[in-house]
């Protein structure tokens, strides 16, 4: 049985709500809906922000990976090119050395007469250094010194000490390639034969190239091919035709070696300079036999010698008397090559912004480039129809004049 209290409660539930209750309920529902919507929007915005941040991070990571990959590829290509060039140069040097070795094996090892006039001994190419050190290094006139590629060396000589027609030794040079690089010694690179029979402290000169600096006083008549006529002219007049011949000789070489010889005085007022090749010592060293056939020597006239000596009178030193000489050996002419700088003029650049004015100088509008002044270029091409352009300009000028007349 249903009690009365329960019936009253059911009646209250079935009873319609009043207006105030309905409004309160709707406001609470609206508030809860807004709160829920705000939470949803907040969650959605945070998700979007998190997604965007993740996307940005991924994008930065991808960009970093791309930049790293690009840098790696660039460095790899650079290293590959460097390695390729090094390999090519190494292969080229190896081929050159192999070619020189083959040439050296094919060269003759026959002995030759000593180039000096007072020595008749026959010397092998491998024994020239020992012969010079034992027989001709003790004379007071010959100087022994080491010389390297592209490094100058100073010598001096007194022309009055030499007899006419006699070949004299001025200096003995030990050429050692590039300074500080033992691998560039001529004997190790098959440029010449190694020196034999070098002992004790001279063992270091085994792969050096011995070079002799020779000088001979003769006459102009030695240049004549007819030797009978030369002898007749020398007998008639030999005092006023004296010349001095200077040249360099060495054992046989597998490649040409040049040298620069410069003759000058101590005051640097007179000088003579030539670039020549080193001669083979096996060939004849008599000036009357090779002057008319080749040019690997320097000739000084007696008048030039007098000029060099007269300018030295005011600056004479006891240990450096006579005429000064400078020698430079050039085995590799490309060793001192300097690339030419490419000069780029202003009119070659089309970008006017690349032209920067000096800060210490102020330009006015007339001195600035015409493009900055909004003027046409001076090197512009002519118009296709110049007459129409001139007529159009004339019409514009007439129109301006009529307007000005109307104004007044």
3-class SS letters over 184-231: HCCCCCCCCCCCCCCCHHHHHHCCCEEEEEEEEEEEHHHHCCCHHHHH
pTM over 0.75: no
Confidence bin at 237 (pLDDT 50/70/90): confident
- Residue 297: predicted pLDDT: 94
The pLDDT of residue 102 is 87
Indicate if the pLDDT at residue 41 is higher than 50. yes
User: Is the pLDDT assigned to residue 193 strictly greater than 90?
Assistant: yes
Q: Which H or E run contains 46?
A: helix 19-106
Please say whether the beta carbons of 262 and 242 come within 8 A. no
3-state secondary structure of 171: strand
Alpha carbon distance 1, 384 (integer Å): 118
pLDDT above 50 for 342 = no
Indicate if the pLDDT at residue 377 is higher than 70. Answer: no
Helix extents (H) in 299-385: 302-312
At 158-179, the pLDDT tens digits run: 888 888 889 999 999 999 999 9
259 or 138, greater pLDDT = 259
How much is the average pLDDT of 243-258?
94
Q: Which residues of 319-341 are buried (b: 16+ CB within 10 A; e: fewer)?
A: eeebbbbebbbbbeeeeeeeeee
Tell me what the mean pLDDT of segment 377-387 comes to.
52
Mean per-residue pLDDT over the chain, rounded: 75
Question: Is a pLDDT exceeding 70 seen at residue 145?
Answer: yes
Per-residue pLDDT for 191 more than 70?
A: yes
The mean per-residue pLDDT over the stretch 194-205 comes to 89
9: confidence class by pLDDT, cuts 50, 70, 90: low
Instruction: Quick: pLDDT tens for 294-339.
Output: 899 999 998 899 888 886 555 444 445 689 999 999 987 555 444 4
> Of the spans 76-80, 230-234, 250-254, which averages the highest pLDDT?
250-254
pLDDT for the residue 320: 55
- Confidence check: pLDDT of 346 > 70: no
pLDDT of residue 362: 47
What whole-number distance in Å separates Cα of residue 339 and Cα of residue 336?
10
Share of the chain above pLDDT 90, in %: 28
Give the Å distances, CA to CA, from 256 to 119, 262, 279.
27, 20, 9
In the predicted model, is pLDDT for residue 96 greater than 70?
yes
């Amino acid at each position: 049985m249903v009690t009365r209290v329960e019936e009253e409660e059911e009646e209250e539930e079935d009873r319609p709500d009043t207006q105030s209750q309905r409004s309160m309920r709707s406001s609470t529902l609206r508030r809860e809906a807004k709160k829920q919507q705000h939470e949803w929007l907040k969650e959605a915005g945070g998700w979007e922000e998190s997604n965007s941040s993740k996307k940005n991070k991924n994008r930065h990571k991808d960009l970093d990976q791309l930049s790293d990959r690009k840098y790696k590829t660039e460095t790899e290509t650079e290293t590959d090119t460097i390695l390729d060039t090094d390999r090519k140069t190494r292969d080229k040097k190896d081929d050159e050395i192999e070619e020189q070795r083959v040439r050296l094996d094919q060269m003759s090892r026959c002995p030759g007469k000593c180039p000096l006039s007072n020595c008749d001994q026959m010397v092998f190419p491998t024994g020239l250094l020992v012969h010079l050190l034992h027989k001709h290094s003790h004379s007071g006139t010959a100087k022994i010194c080491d010389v390297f590629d592209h490094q100058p060396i100073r010598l001096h000589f007194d022309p009055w000490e030499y007899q006419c027609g006699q070949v004299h030794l001025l200096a003995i040079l030990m050429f050692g390639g590039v300074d500080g690089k033992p691998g560039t010694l001529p004997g190790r690179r098959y440029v010449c034969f190694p020196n034999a029979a070098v002992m004790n402290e001279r063992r270091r000169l085994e792969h050096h190239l011995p070079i002799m600096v020779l000088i001979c006083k003769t006459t102009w008549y030695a240049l004549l091919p007819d030797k009978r006529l030369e002898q007749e002219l020398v007998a008639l007049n030999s005092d006023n035709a004296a010349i001095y011949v200077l040249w360099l000789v060495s054992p046989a070489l597998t490649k040409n070696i040049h040298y620069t010889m410069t003759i000058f005085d101590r005051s640097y007022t007179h000088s003579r300079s030539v670039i020549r090749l080193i001669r083979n010592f096996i060939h004849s060293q008599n000036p009357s036999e090779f002057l008319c056939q080749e040019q690997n020597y320097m000739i000084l006239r007696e008048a030039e010698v007098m000029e060099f000596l007269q300018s030295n009178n005011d600056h004479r030193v006891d240990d450096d008397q006579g005429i000064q000489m400078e020698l430079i050996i050039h085995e590799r002419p490309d060793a001192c090559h300097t690339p030419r700088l490419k000069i780029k003029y202003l009119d070659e650049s089309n970008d006017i912004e690349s032209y920067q004015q000096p800060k210490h100088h102020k330009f006015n509008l007339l001195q600035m480039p015409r493009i900055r002044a909004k003027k046409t270029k001076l090197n512009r091409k002519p118009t296709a129809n110049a007459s129409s352009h001139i007529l159009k300009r004339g019409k514009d000028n007439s129109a301006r004049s009529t307007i000005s007349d109307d104004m007044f």
